[in-house]
Amino acid sequence: MIRPYRSDDLAAVLDVWHDASLEAHAFLDEGFFAAERRALAGEYLPRSETTVYEADGQVVGFVSMLGDEVGGLFVAPPFQGRGIGTSLLDHVAASRSQLELSVFEGNVGGRRFYDGYGFRVVEHRVNEDVGFPELRLRIEVADS
């Protein structure tokens, strides 16, 4: 079930983010994860439009939007490959003419997922915070 984020989802969303991030971003150090967890809870979630995917009463994925920007799309590792990420993107794409996001070049699974969804690379750059290469992606959404 897809539904809006509620404040009582915070712990579950942080757990999903952490577990999925460790798998996707093994090249980043624990200091990065600790700082990002604080920022996610204190800055990003409060100012974003976040939607969660719930299975059997448990939050197993979420997408956070800042306008047309996908600030984060994460699915708990045991639930990946089941269409949850696609469902969440379809949900947010339904009300937008385009979606944009940044993904680390080293996040092979994420890049494969976004390629399959139809995103295209519009910029190559280095993430200023961690020094790793990242890609800027965009998709034009039809019939929004």
Q: Find tokens 């989802």 and name the residue.
A: 9
Supply the CATH number for residue 55's domain: 3.40.630.30
**Alpha-carbon dihedral of residues 26, 28, 33, 35, nearest 10 degrees?**
-170
The answer to whether the CB of 64 falls within 8 A of the CB of 72 is yes
d(CA 65, CA 55): 21
Domain housing 51: 2-140
Number of domains in the chain: 1
Per-residue pLDDT of the chain (144 residues; tens, 9 = 90+): 999 999 999 999 999 999 998 888 777 888 888 888 899 899 999 999 999 999 999 999 999 999 999 999 999 999 999 999 999 999 999 999 999 999 989 888 999 999 999 999 999 999 887 788 999 999 998 764
